[in-house]
Amino acid sequence: MVVEQATRESMAALVGPEHVETARDADAVDGVRPAFVVEPANAAEVAAVVAHADHHGLAIAPRGGGTRMTWGNIPARLDLIVSMRRLDQLLEHADGDMTATVQAGITLQDLNDRLAERGQFLPLDVPRADLATIGGLIAVNDSGPLRLRYGGIRDLLIGATIVRADGAIAKGGGKVVKNVAGYDLPKLMIGALGTLGVIVEATFRLYPLPATNQSLAWESGTPEVAGAFILAVLDSTLVPTGLTLRWSTSAGSTLLLRLTGIEPSVLAQRDQALALAQAHKLGEPWRLDASDWSGLHAELLSHECALVARCSVLPSEIPALIRMLEDVAEQESLEVSAVIQAHGLGLVRATPKGTGDVAASLRAACMELRKRLAARGGTLIILAAPLAVKQRLDVWGPAPDALPVMQQIKARFDPNGSLNPGRFLGEHA
Amino acid sequence: MIERHIIPELRRIVGDVGLLTAPEQLRTYESDGLTSYRVVPGVVVLPASTEQVQGIVRVCHRERVPFVARGSGTGLSGGALPHAKGVLISLARMNKILSVDLPNQRIVVEPGVINAHVTQRVATQNYYYAPDPSSQSVCSIGGNVAENSGGAHCLKYGFTVNHVLGLTVVMPDGEIVHLGGATLDQPGYDLPGVFVGSEGTLGVATEITLRLIRKPEAVQMIMAAFHSTDHAGGAVSEIIAAGMLPAAIEMMDHLSIQAVEQATHAGYPTSAGAALLVELDGPTAEVDALIDRAEEICERNGAWQVRRAATADERLLMWKGRKAAFAAMGRISPDYYVQDGVIPRTALPRVLRRIDELAEMHGMRVANVFHAGDGNLHPLVLYDGDVPGAAERAEEVASEILTACVDAGGSITGEHGVGEDKKKHMPKMFNEADLDTMNRLRCAFDPNLLSNPGKVFPTPRLCGERPGPRREHPLVAAGVAEIF
């Protein structure tokens, strides 16, 4: 308690007493409750807080909107949550250069609302955009259907400023789209779960908002039919901004296709897509609207559920993935649903039907899926699961042969292990 | 001179056919595309497999001998400049395409495969490989990976890093690791993301998984002639503001047009103050509508001639002129020094005026060829190497141009890399903390600093021991060195 009091006083001196709060239950990460939540106002305050914590052996978890705090393994230690809530500014929208520089704590929704005023957007469509912050999204590397056309965060992020564990403020990349000066440090932060530094600022390349869009959906019959249609679209001259397969054990599968751009192009592409669908005997299509897309993933993530995982497969393996999901659903008596993008990334949700050893059946399902995916070059990462599952299973799966390099990077960026200890790849207790 | 005793061991690994030791053979490797830097390597090896690369690097690691990997040697930053006491590893013999997976739009190649050969392999099936540096007919994929090469089409399609999914890498200690893979978002740090563009300082890539792109339904291109670069720049801004994302927008100034037309007869308007190439690709309905708008915009901004390529051949001829621009400078100047600065597109008129001022001030001619869509300038400072002091003056002008680019919020290099040539300019963009952080990454891969040492970083740096909690570097503790 003496240490806690001293920490509180030190933190209060750095960010002001009104920005240091005693942590509540809701601040716990996988049941590990920190002592404080600290809300610095700017990069310099973040640096001071992180340096102080690092020096005193305190474990830090950076936090944006807190929408994806279950991602990663159970923390080995956690003393301090550094909330980025107050770093919420759009610093520059250079619309003529199609770039924007933001503080890490701005929400995706807020950013895109502002960019839309000048006809541009950051093409990231992920659930809970109203809460999810840019820094958090970089750290977890989330993406949605738009990735098919615009790429992921690694294709959009062109510069970043981070606070290192020792409090040094360092930047990589820049504010121009084309730039190969020095190592690409921003890329290193993508998907790193805040283990190498706290992201405080980011610069993105932007795209013009499309003039019109049209979306179609079809009942898609067997996974093989759906898979063949997906490959046919990828092999065509269509340029969809979304091609998604929604599937569940109870409701079968639906294909969704989104076309955007200037109207004549969207209409011409729609006719081509309809012809392609007919050739694949997909049946009568129906029209979708924008909310059908934004609701896609939210549906999977928002419900109180047992397990959510991210799968990655080759596009040609999408039917095989569905068949695997069917098999484990049957074997382990699970209700399973999935949203799979044409580029091979999918979100899977599994809920036990029965009441037996729920954790055991979810673990068995994950292990079986991992084994079968690995044989086809695929991976499965657990994003949320009951503690009893996470305690016994590394959420990241088997480590790649490059793990020693990753551990060396971690050791050189964060030698005291202050940033999100225990949560990353290869750190499962 | 290299430690002679490792030569027999290298010979056992690569055989007689893969080992060059004669001085006249070594001299052909003394520079890359930037010939103002020359160092004769200690020895040259030409491995034929990942295992042979591993064998070579293990010897280097054990003996603490530096090594430099080299593709086709077309780089323009001295990135493949050899080390006098080191091993030069040419990947030219590793030139096989290992597998093609069209349904998944993937191709796996060895590093010595020529960029254009990737596209040639899949062209009849309507696919291509997007990054297209002007040297694409000779440059290698391994070199593209090292430099994160761009090209004219990266405005829409991105750079090498956006098209590399996975790599097999021989680490600087000889371990073989796999970074990324065929599927997206592999668990762990984005190591392909940092390896691509690391200029050979993090290891040697021996297998590379690339993304292929489906050919678009339609491609259209116009060439517009303007009185000045200001007018052409205005057209570029308006095209972007209209919400178009052309596949490429290229600009050439008067001097460049002269040189290119003399060399290629591509039909460039020789009396123009600036020429703009605008290429659009995508669905036919989109391209047809937007190319009309691009034409209108050019005319509204003062274009006095707009020509549309009527056929694919005509389009390729327009491109041939642009891609031959560097080589064509020989028609108007004995020597040139090319820079690769980047600026925010909107700063174009301001920076071009500054370049004119600098040229005038130093009594030099500067030709400008650039990727106008993404603000990547290629000022060519023309000089005569036979005139004493001219080369130095050219370099000084080029250096000041880079300062102007960075001052405008840009970068010292958009696609050529830092290498040997621009490392002294790194502090213009990055402070000590930035460089120290980059060095930490370097040291995680290569703690003995053997892989292409002396490049990228402006000053030599230490790595220190494998870090544990709070351990001071022995040299620092002894007061011999400071922590950067």
* Average pLDDT of span A317-341: 96
Instruction: Give the pairing of strands A307-312 and A334-341.
Output: unpaired
Cα gap B469→B472, rounded to integer Å: 9
**Pseudo-torsion of CA B463, B443, B417, B32, nearest 10°?**
80
pLDDT at A356: 85
Q: What residues of A are in contact with residue B440 (Cβ under 8 Å)?
A: 409, 412-413
Q: How is B421-478 classified by DSSP, letter by letter?
A: TSGGGHHHH--HHHHHHHHHHHHHH-TT--BSTTSSSSS-----SSP-TT---HHHHT
Which among A162, A172, A401 is the nearest to B178, CB-wise?
A401
Asked if A374 reaches chain B (Cβ–Cβ under 8 Å), the answer is no
Which among B183, B426, B468 is the nearest to A378, CB-wise?
B183
CA angle A52, B463, B59 (to 5 degrees): 150
Asked if A211 reaches chain B (Cβ–Cβ under 8 Å), the answer is yes
Cα gap A212→A261, rounded to integer Å: 6
* Residues B294/B246, Cβ–Cβ less than 8 Å: yes
pLDDT band per the 50, 70, 90 thresholds, residue B465: low
Cβ contact B283–A192 (<8 Å): no
pLDDT at B3: 74
User: CB-based contacts of B357: which residues, under 8 Å, 6+ apart?
Assistant: none
Cβ contact A180–B148 (<8 Å): yes
pLDDT band per the 50, 70, 90 thresholds, residue A382: very high
* Shortest Cα distance, chain A CAs vs residue B353, angstroms: 19
* Residues A172/B437, Cβ–Cβ less than 8 Å: yes
Cβ contact A164–B437 (<8 Å): yes
Tell me which architecture the domain covering B97-214 has in CATH.
2-Layer Sandwich (3.30)
pLDDT at A302: 57
Instruction: Give the pairing of strands B87-90 and B67-70.
Output: parallel
Q: Cite the DSSP H helix spans in A117-262.
A: 134-140, 147-150, 153-156, 185-189, 223-234
Cβ contact A177–B243 (<8 Å): no
Please report, rounded to a whole number, the percentage of residues in chain B having pLDDT higher than 90. Answer: 83
* Of the listed ranges A85-89, B108-112, B177-181, B390-394, the one predicted with least confidence: B390-394
Q: Is the dihedral of CA B232, B237, B238, B243 positive or negative?
A: positive
Tell me which architecture the domain covering B4-90 has in CATH.
2-Layer Sandwich (3.30)
Strand partners, B114: B140
Tell me which architecture the domain covering B333-417 has in CATH.
2-Layer Sandwich (3.30)
- Please name the residue that has the structure tokens 């703690």: B447
Tens of pLDDT, residue by residue over B156-208, are 999 999 999 999 999 999 999 999 999 999 999 999 999 999 999 999 999 99
Q: What residues of B are in contact with residue A413 (Cβ under 8 Å)?
A: 437, 440
Residue in chain A nearest B421 by alpha carbon: A181
Enumerate the domain spans of chain B. 4-90, 97-214, 218-326, 333-417
Tell me how far apart the terminal alpha carbons of chain B are, to the nearest angstrom: 31
Torsions phi, psi for B386 (to 5 deg): -80, -15
Question: How crowded is residue A392: how many other Cβ atoms within 10 Å of its Cβ?
Answer: 11
pLDDT band per the 50, 70, 90 thresholds, residue A301: low
Cα gap B310→A356, rounded to integer Å: 71
Cα gap A244→A343, rounded to integer Å: 9
Cα gap A310→A382, rounded to integer Å: 6
Asked if A25 reaches chain B (Cβ–Cβ under 8 Å), the answer is no
Mutate to test the interface with A, among B106, B376, B441 (most CBs of A within 10 A): B441
Tens of pLDDT, residue by residue over B413-461, are 999 999 999 999 999 999 999 999 999 999 999 999 999 999 999 998 8
Residues 273-302 of A with CB under 8 A from B: none
Q: What residues of A are in contact with residue B100 (Cβ under 8 Å)?
A: none
* Residues B137/B109, Cβ–Cβ less than 8 Å: no
pLDDT at A299: 66
For A351, the enclosing helix (H) or strand (E) is strand A345-352
* Shortest Cα distance, chain A CAs vs residue B206, angstroms: 15
Q: What residues of B are in contact with residue A196 (Cβ under 8 Å)?
A: 189
Question: How crowded is residue B49: how many other Cβ atoms within 10 Å of its Cβ?
Answer: 15
Cβ contact A181–B284 (<8 Å): no
How far lies B259's CA from each of B250, B256, B268, B316, in Å?
16, 5, 10, 18
- Would B218-326 and B333-417 be classified into the same CATH topology? yes
Q: What share of chain B is helix, strand, coil (3-state, %, to 5)?
A: 40, 20, 40
Question: How crowded is residue B37: how many other Cβ atoms within 10 Å of its Cβ?
Answer: 17
Residue A301, CA atoms < 13 Å, CB-side half-sphere = 22
DSSP E strands: which ranges in B91-217? 97-101, 106-109, 127-128, 164-170, 176-180, 204-211, 213-214
Q: What residues of A are in contact with residue B342 (Cβ under 8 Å)?
A: 174, 176, 178-179
Residue A325, CA atoms < 13 Å, CB-side half-sphere = 32
Burial of A162 (0-12, 13-18, 19+ CB in 10 A): buried
Tens of pLDDT, residue by residue over A103-149, are 999 999 999 999 999 999 999 999 999 999 999 999 999 999 999 99
A with B: how many residue pairs have Cβ under 8 Å apart?
A: 278
Tell me how far apart the terminal alpha carbons of chain A are, to the nearest angstrom: 27
* Residues A214/A274, Cβ–Cβ less than 8 Å: no
Cα gap B368→B252, rounded to integer Å: 6
Fold classification of B218-326 (topology level): Alpha-Beta Plaits (3.30.70)
Tens of pLDDT, residue by residue over A136-155, are 999 999 999 999 999 999 99
Q: Classify residue A370 by its DSSP letter.
A: H
Residue B373, CA atoms < 13 Å, CB-side half-sphere = 25
Structure tokens that stand for A296 in this block: 């896609």
* Average pLDDT of span B221-245: 93
Residues 145-164 of A with CB under 8 A from B: 151-152, 154-155, 162, 164
Cβ contact B437–A269 (<8 Å): no
Cβ contact B161–A265 (<8 Å): no
* Average pLDDT of span A261-273: 96
Cβ contact A99–B162 (<8 Å): no
